[in-house]
Every structure is written in C-alpha cells, then in structure tokens.
Amino acid sequence: MILLCCRRCVQIRQLLRLAVLAVTFFGASQPALVHAETKIVPSAAVSGRYDSNIFRRPAQFLPAGTQTEDFATTIGGAVGLLHETRDIDVNFKVGGSFNAYVENTNFNFFTANVDGIVGLDRWVDQYVRGARLRLTQHFLYTPETPGFVTGGRDVGLGLQQDDLFLRGIQTFRANTFINTTTLTGAYPVSRDLSLEGGYTFGLRRVGQLLAATAGEPAFFNTMSHTWHGGPRYRLTKNDSVAVLYRQSFITQSRSTGGRTFNTNFVTLAGDYTKVFQEWTFTIEGGITFIEPASRTTPSGSMKITTRPERDTVLSFILSREARPSYFLQGGATISNLGRVAISHTIYERLTLDGTVAYGYNELFPSTDRTFKNFTASSGLSYKLTRNIAGNLFYIFTNVDADSTSLSYQFSRHQAGIAFTAEWN
C-alpha cells in the first residue's frame, strides 16, 4: 500500500509539473509588449485547540486504555502565486502544517494541500467570442479528512466547497490523500443559447489506519471520472434554464488490496438559475440511474446565497445526490445534505461566522445502512493588523452509523484559538 501511495504521489507530482509547464508556456507565449503581473503571497498560521476525540471513533473501536481527548498545537504556512497576463490568470497555493499533541505524541501528523485555479476565459474568447474555460486543482494529504462545514464567505481560492468526496461522512482516522482536478467550459451558440460542460477526475487513496484494532471497518480506494454537459438558455438578463446530462464512472478496491469493481451513475436533470448583484438562486431536479444495481433514485439541489444587508452573507444548500461510498461499503451512497451558513461583520475588524449542517447518507442499495452526521460551528475573527488576524472557534460533531454489521455513535467537541498572517 505504501508503494502504491508513493507511486500515486509521483503521478500527481508529474501532473502538477505538466500544469506548471503549461502555465509557463502560456505566460511565455505572450507578446513582449503585453504587461504581465506576478505576485507571491506568503502566509503563516499557528493555533491551539482542545479535541475531545482525536481518533473520531467510539471507545469500543480503540485499544484498551487509549486516551481520546487531547490538546494540539498546529504550525503551518503556505505560499500563493498570483499571475495575470492579457490571456490568463492563475491563482495557485501550496501549503502544509505540522500538528503536535500533548499526550498522544505518537499520533502527531503532517498535512499538505495544493489548490489552484487557471482562468482561460480571455484566451478562448480570442477564438470564440463569449466562450469560457477554467481549470481547478485540489490536492489534500491528511489523516483528518474534513467534513462539510464551511463558512458563509468564500475562503482560500474560492474553490467549490462541495468536493466529490466531502459529503458529510466523517470516517475513522487514517492517512489519506485526495486529488480532484476539474475542467469546465462553455461554448456560445447564439446570444441566448450556450453549451456548457466539464470533466472531473477524482482520486482518493487510504494508507495506514491510526489506532487500528481487529475487525476495523473497510476503507475503499476510489477513482472517478465524471463528465457533464447540456444546453443553457438565457430567458432574461438574470434568468436561465438548462438541461443537464451527468455521468460518473467509479472504480474501487479495498484499501488492503483485492479485486476491483465498478459503479456507474447517470443523471438527467433540469436547472433554473437566477442571479442578481446581491444574491443567487439555483434549483436542480432530476433522476439518477445507478449500475450495477439497476435502480433509479430522484436527485436534485437548491442553493441560495444572499446579502440581506451590506455586512451579512447568508448561504443555504439542500441537495440529494449519488456519490461514491468509500467507508464501510463500496459502491454508491445516496447523500442527502442540508447546510446553513452565515457571516456577519460586526464592525470593520470583527467578524462572526456560524454554520449548521446535517448529512443523511444511505449506503445504496441497502437502505438499512445509514450514516448520519450533524455538525455546528461558530467562530469570531478579529483583524489585529492589516496582515494578522486572530480567531476563536468551536466545532461540535455528532456521528451516528447504523447497519446490520456495524453500529456506533459518538460526539466530538473542538475549541481553540488561531492566529493567521498573510503578506499580500
């Protein structure tokens, strides 16, 4: 497994090198008289927190005498690259952090992440007026796979928070790396009609399980290829409707090795989107056909983002989608997710954030196997200087897994303080 993970990491580094070479080529190909701007943005962060369950599992799945609660210190940093020319704009960020525990020092860990956006709208517009093209990249290595809590404002690079593998399932702790690469675009047929589409490659690999015991639940290595497309018609300046076709082909195997198996999702849906300056509204509804189960299930989503006042951002998401199941059982998961997030600027330097999210996941087609997750978080951020900010935070999580072979429930509390600095 270690050799496999190393091989996959080498492959991902090769892909990243190709991406950097492509960006370099585009930048070098600009005429000498065209102004290009490049900015390096370093950042650093340090935090301390209390965690009531660092293993994210109930006591019966831990070796006897294991202390689940602990205090942790995190020290990390990142380097961002902003590059803009007449044709492209690049936003790239590489970061990492070291996490040290007070009691469970043998479980200290390192995380690494790479995020990037390459905007090619202006480049393709030279050849097809009104066309759009965008490449996004997300890589994460960590034993602390994140859940589905995000604030009401865009963070980081503004990447899509609803990642392929982040649908509220919080698994037992294991060394994991996740890679998601997405290419999206649009081709205008006429003033009001365009063809939209995209492709996403997703890869999730699981290595060592931490604090493992006999009879551990299974993890599944997952590779997915997803493509979507369809026409979008603009009804008015602010309203549009679309017909969507989306297909995902998923290949999986147990993280401990064994045979591989495939799952296929095909979704047909309709979409209505309304966009104003202060708010956006999108609703989608359709059906999803799942193979090899040969079953059909309804799917859809509703997303609202609004500013009820100048200093407040409110977002609401409600969705039901078929996603790959990578814990307890491979194949398909019917993921039902609801999330409300708010961010309010109390005054110029002080911001309050809050999120409440609930996930109800059914391991398809066995509807008697469910995975429920409730998470609530709050944070108070104060800008100490132009470059430095302090943040107080609290996160509560309750996990309830129920199946014929394995049932468990536990809660987790995290509270702490963090300081971040960004020199932009």
In the chain, where the domains are located: 53-422
Highest mean pLDDT range out of 5-19, 41-55, 199-213? 41-55
421 close to 386: Cβ distance less than 8 angstroms: no
* pLDDT in the model for residue 35: 58
pLDDT confidence bin for 280, thresholds 50/70/90: very high
pLDDT confidence bin for 278, thresholds 50/70/90: confident
* pLDDT in the model for residue 273: 96
Q: What CA dihedral angle connects 115, 81, 315 and 245, to 10 degrees?
A: -50
**Cα 196 to Cα 134: distance, rounded to the nearest angstrom:** 12
Average pLDDT, stretch 219-234? Answer: 95
* pLDDT in the model for residue 73: 97
Does residue 17 register a pLDDT over 80? no
Average pLDDT, stretch 126-136? Answer: 94
**Token pair in block for residue 101:** 């525990």
Strands 174-188, 193-209: pairing is: antiparallel
pLDDT confidence bin for 390, thresholds 50/70/90: very high
* 64-68, 158-162, 276-280, 295-299: range with lowest mean pLDDT: 158-162
**% of the chain at pLDDT higher than 90:** 62
What DSSP line would sit under 288-338, residue for residue? EEEETTTEEEEEEEEEEEEEEETTEEEEEEEEEEEEEEEESEEEEEEEEEE
* pLDDT in the model for residue 75: 97
* 14-18, 173-177, 264-268, 293-297: range with lowest mean pLDDT: 14-18
Look up residue 24 and give its amino acid: T
CATH number at 53-422: 2.40.160
Average pLDDT, stretch 105-130? Answer: 94
Average pLDDT, stretch 305-323? Answer: 91
The larger pLDDT score, comparing residue 207 to residue 93, is at 93
The larger pLDDT score, comparing residue 30 to residue 261, is at 261
Average pLDDT, stretch 332-357? Answer: 92
* pLDDT in the model for residue 31: 40
